Structure 1
Amino acid sequence: MAAADTHQSTAPFSLDSYHVSEELGFILPEPLTELPPYYQPWMDVALRVPELVDSHELRSLINKMPLLSSHFLQNHRELRLAHLALGVMTMGYVWQEGEKDTVDVLPRNLAVPFWEISQRLGLPPIFTHADGVLANWKKKERDGPFHMENLELLLSLPGGDSVRGFFMVTLLVELAAVPALRNIPAVINGIRCGDSEAVVRALDDIGRSLQDMTDALKLMQVYVEPSVFYGIMRIYLSGWKDNPSMPNGLIYEGVRTEAMEFSGGSAAQSSLLHCFDELLGIKHEEKSGAFLTRMRNYMPPAHKQLIEDISLAPSLRSFVQQQQANERLSQAFHLCVAKLLALRNYHINVVSRFITVPAARARQIRNQSQDCDGGIISRAPTALEERGTGGSGIMIFLKTVRDQTKDAFLPETSEDTKLV
C-alpha cells in the first residue's frame, strides 16, 4: 500500500499510513500461525526445515511438493506467513549441503508461488528481516508479557536455541525502538510549527529509546552461542548476491530463465536505523550509502516510504543550528546522536564476538591441521569469513557507518556529550 504523500501536505505528519503499529512499531501485530488448509503441504515442510536439513531430506521433499496457486491467500497476514514459510524452505533448500554443494535452480513448485507472493507484498523472493524477525513470533501466553521467556518462533532454521535467541533478541530491539518511532512525527511537526519545546520533549524520548535498544541488544550474548551462530546459522541467512559460493545467483524456475541475485538477511534491512539516520541528518558515504539504500528494497514498501518521507521533512539539524542559543534543544539533539553512536559501537562489538573472533579461530584450526576436529566453527563457510549475510564487507562497512554517525554532531558539541 502506498503511503500518503505527507511531506507536501499541510496536514500534521503521522504514522497512520505506513503500516506502523502504535504498540509494536514495524513488528507485524499478531502474526498468523496457520495458513488455509489448501497450503498445508507448505507448512508441513516449513515446520520441519531444521530436522530435514539435518537428515539431508529437505531438497527431495521440496522437489515432491505440489505446485500450489498463491491466489487463495486473502490478506496481508496470510501473505506474510506464506512468505516466511517459503523463505525458510528456500534457505534450507539452497544451503542444505553447505557452501560446496549449492544449487543453481530453485524448483518451480517453490519458486513460482514465492515470486507471486513477493510481488504482492513488494518484498524480494528471499528470506528477509521482515520475515525472520517482524513476522515470526508468537506469545506462549497470549496475555503475558513481551519478553524472552514468553516468546516463540513460528518457523526456524538450523541452529537450535541460538536461532530463537537471535531472532527474538532482534525482535526485542525492534520493540525497544517503538517510543522513538512514535516521537518522530512530534519532532517533524514541532519543527514545522517552530515549537522547540515539543521537539526537545520528543528528542528526550528518542534518546531513552535508543538506550533501550542497546540494552536489548546486549541479550544477544545471553541467548546466542557465537560458535553456533558462526558455524551453523550464518549460512542459512546468506543470499546469492555478492556471495562467492553462488557467483551466478539463482534461477527461479518458471519465473525467469536468467539467474537472479538477492542479498541475505541483514540488520541493515531493519527500517529503524534508516529512520533515525534521516531524522538526525546522518549522511553516509557513497559505498556504504549505496548498500543501505539497496537494503530498503528488502523492507515492506510502506516502511520504505516512511524512511523516504522523513528524509523529505524539514531538517532537524538545521532547526537546531538556527536555535543555537537554545541549549536544551542542542543537548537533546546531541544526546540522540550520542545514543545512536553508542548503539552502533555496541553492534560492532557484537559482530566481533559472533563473526570476527570465530572467523580467526576457524582459520587457525584449518591452518593447524586438515585432520583436526575443530568442532562447529571449523564447519563454517569460508566464503563468508569477512562478509555480512547481506553481502557487505562487514567490519569496514560497520565502522564507516559508525564514523559517519559521529559527523552528525554539531561543531560546538562538547566531548562529554559525544562520550555518553
Structure 2
Amino acid sequence: MGSLDIPSAVLNLRDFDINFDTGFLPRQTPLLRLPSKWEAWELILESAIHDRIKLGETSGLSEEEREKSESWRNHVRALPVLPTAELKESEVFLRRAHHVLTYILHFYVHSILPHDPISIPPSLTLPLLRVSAELLLPPTMSYSDDVLHNWKPKTPHFESGGEVPTIDNLRCQTSFTGSADEDGFYLSTVRVELRGGAVLELMQAILNDASTNDKLALQRITDSLTKMAVIIKELRALLLGVREECNPEYFFREIRPWLVGTEPAEDSATRPWVFEGLDQDPNLQAPAELSGSSAAQSTLIQGLDTFLGVDTYTLGEPKESPHHVNVSPFAQRMRLYMPRRHREFLAQLVSNPFSLRELVANAKDACLQEAYNGAVLALKEFRDAHMIIVTLYIIGPGRRAAREAAEAGLTREGPVKGSAGGDLARLLKDFRDRTTGAVFPEKKL
C-alpha cells in the first residue's frame, strides 16, 4: 500500500466528553443525589416511585389510585421554587437536576387523567426551564436522562467513581415502574453505549492515521475498520439482549407511556403541556421542543453514520457532495436532545475535511474497501436488529392495542410512533436503506 494525499483529519475526541473506556457515558458514576438545598426534589421523586404512581390512562384505575396521584401532584404544586443559580457552578449538579426534574415532569404529566388539561406548576416549570437553558437541552426527558446518566454499579464501593463500569456490573438509578423489565430495557442500551467506547477509540485511531499519511497508514486504517466491524456486531448482540430482560407487552403498556413527550402545539389531537409561571421570569419562554426520550438521540449511532458516510448515500448514489452529510430532518432534530459537547462532536465530525468514504474510493485498494464494506454492513445489521426490537416492542403491541381499541368502539389513527414521535417503520427503513446504499459495489475496483 502506498500513501495518499489525505486532507488533515486532526480531531481529538476526548475534547467532547468522550472517554474510550465508557464512550458517551460519563466515566464516573453519575451523581446519585443533589446536595441538601435541593433535597425537596429528590424526596418528591422518591415519593412517586415509592407510592407506585400510576399512569392516568391505566384501564380500571381505582378511586384510591386516582386520589394518590392527585395528592402527589398537589405536593409538587406546593413545592417552593428552589433557586438554581448555584447549580450552574457544576455540570454534574446540572445533569442530576435535569434527570430528577424531568422524571418528576413525566410522572406529573402522565399521571393526569386522559381528558384533563395538563398544567405544570411554577415549582416545576421555573427550575426545569432554567436548568435546561444552562445545559442547552429541551425541558423534557431525553436519552441522556434515562440512559446516559441513569446507571450506577451494582457493587457499592464502585460508586466512589474510582472504577470504570463494566457491562456486567450495572444497575439503574431511577425508573417509573420499579420493575426489572424497565431496568433491563434501559440497561441494554447502557451496555451498547459502554461497549461503544471501543468503536470511538478505533475512530480516533483512523483519524490519527489519516493525519500521519505514512506508507503504513492505509494498512492500519484497514485493520481498524476490520476491528470496528467486529465490535459493531457485538453492539448488535447487546441490543438484542433486551429480549431476555424486558417483556414487550409490559414495555408497551406500562413503561413506554411514561417516556413520551408531546407533539407540536398545532397538532389539535394532542393536549398541550402548559408551563405555568413563565411570567415570573422574562428570560424564559414556552418550550418548542418536548419530544420524549429516543434511541435516535444516541450520539454513538449518529456518529457512526457520519464517520462512515452513511447519511451521504442512498442506494449507492451520493445525495450531495461527499463532504456534506445529508442528515434526515428527524435525526437532525434528535441532536437537540444530545448533551451539548456531544452535539459539538457531531458538528466537528461533519466539518472535518477528512472523508473516510472518499479515502476508500480514491485508494482503489481491495482490502481497504472490503474492510470499509464490512463495517458498513455490520452497521446495517445493527439497524436490522433495531427494527426487530421496534417491531417486537412497539409496532406489534401497538397494532394489538389498536385492534383492542377498535373492538371497544374506539379508534386509533395513523402509524405507530416512537416515544419521540415519527413514523417508526418508515424512519427505520430509511436509515437501513441509507446504510445499505453506502456499500461499495465490487465493480468499482
TM more than 0.5: yes
1:258 Cα offset (Å)? 4.6
Match of 2:4 in 1: none
**Closer, same or farther: CA 317–99 of 1 in aligned 2, 3 Å:** farther
Match of 2:191 in 1: 172
Match of 1:408 in 2: 438
1:150 Cα offset (Å)? 3.4
1:383 Cα offset (Å)? 7.2
Q: 2:329 aligns with which of 284, 287, 290?
A: 290
5+ residue gaps, structure 1, are: 1-8, 371-377, 415-420
1:100 Cα offset (Å)? 3.5
1:71-123 deviation per Cα after TM superposition (whole angstroms, max 9, x unaligned): 222311111111100010001111113544350x3211111111111122121
Count of residue pairs the alignment pairs up = 395
Deviates more, 1:145-154 or 1:334-343: 145-154
Match of 1:205 in 2: 227
Report the AA paired with residue 107 of structure 2.
G
Q: Matches of 2:443 and 2:272 in 1, distance apart?
A: 48
Match of 2:73 in 1: 59
Q: Matches of 1:38 and 1:221 in 2, distance apart?
A: 41
Match of 1:274 in 2: 302
Question: Is 1:304 aligned to 2:302, yes or no?
Answer: no
Report the AA paired with residue 235 of structure 1.
P
Match of 2:368 in 1: 329
TM normalised by structure 2 equals: 0.82
1:48 Cα offset (Å)? 3.1
1:148 Cα offset (Å)? 6.6
**Closer, same or farther: CA 158–383 of 1 in aligned 2, 3 Å:** farther
Instruction: Tell me if the contact between 1:26 and 1:174 (Cα under 8 Å) persists in the aligned partners.
Output: yes
Q: Matches of 2:196 and 2:272 in 1, distance apart?
A: 38
- Higher relative contact order structure (alpha carbons within 8 Å, sequence separation ≥ 6): 2
Q: 1:226 aligns with which of 248, 271, 278?
A: 248
SS in structure 1 of the partner of residue 260 of structure 2: coil
Match of 1:96 in 2: 111
Question: Is 1:71 aligned to 2:85, yes or no?
Answer: yes
Instruction: Tell me if the contact between 2:101 and 2:128 (Cα under 8 Å) persists in the aligned partners.
Output: yes
1:334-356 deviation per Cα after TM superposition (whole angstroms, max 9, x unaligned): 01000000000010000000011
Q: Matches of 1:367 and 1:262 in 2, distance apart?
A: 29
Q: Matches of 2:250 and 2:367 in 1, distance apart?
A: 46
Match of 2:40 in 1: 41
Match of 2:24 in 1: 26
1:385-404 deviation per Cα after TM superposition (whole angstroms, max 9, x unaligned): 61001111111111111111
**Closer, same or farther: CA 19–365 of 1 in aligned 2, 3 Å:** same
What is the percentage of aligned positions where both structures have the same residue?
A: 26
1:214 Cα offset (Å)? 0.5
Match of 1:374 in 2: none
**Higher radius of gyration, 1 or 2:** 2
Deviates more, 1:335-344 or 1:191-200: 191-200
**Closer, same or farther: CA 277–390 of 1 in aligned 2, 3 Å:** same
Deviates more, 1:81-90 or 1:194-203: 194-203
**Closer, same or farther: CA 140–148 of 1 in aligned 2, 3 Å:** same
5+ residue gaps, structure 2, are: 1-6, 55-67, 320-325
SS in structure 2 of the partner of residue 150 of structure 1: coil
SS in structure 2 of the partner of residue 72 of structure 1: helix
Q: Matches of 1:245 and 1:92 in 2, distance apart?
A: 21
1:18-37 deviation per Cα after TM superposition (whole angstroms, max 9, x unaligned): 01123111102221111111
SS in structure 1 of the partner of residue 418 of structure 2: coil
SS in structure 1 of the partner of residue 104 of structure 2: helix
1:186 Cα offset (Å)? 1.6
SS in structure 1 of the partner of residue 442 of structure 2: coil
Match of 2:96 in 1: 81
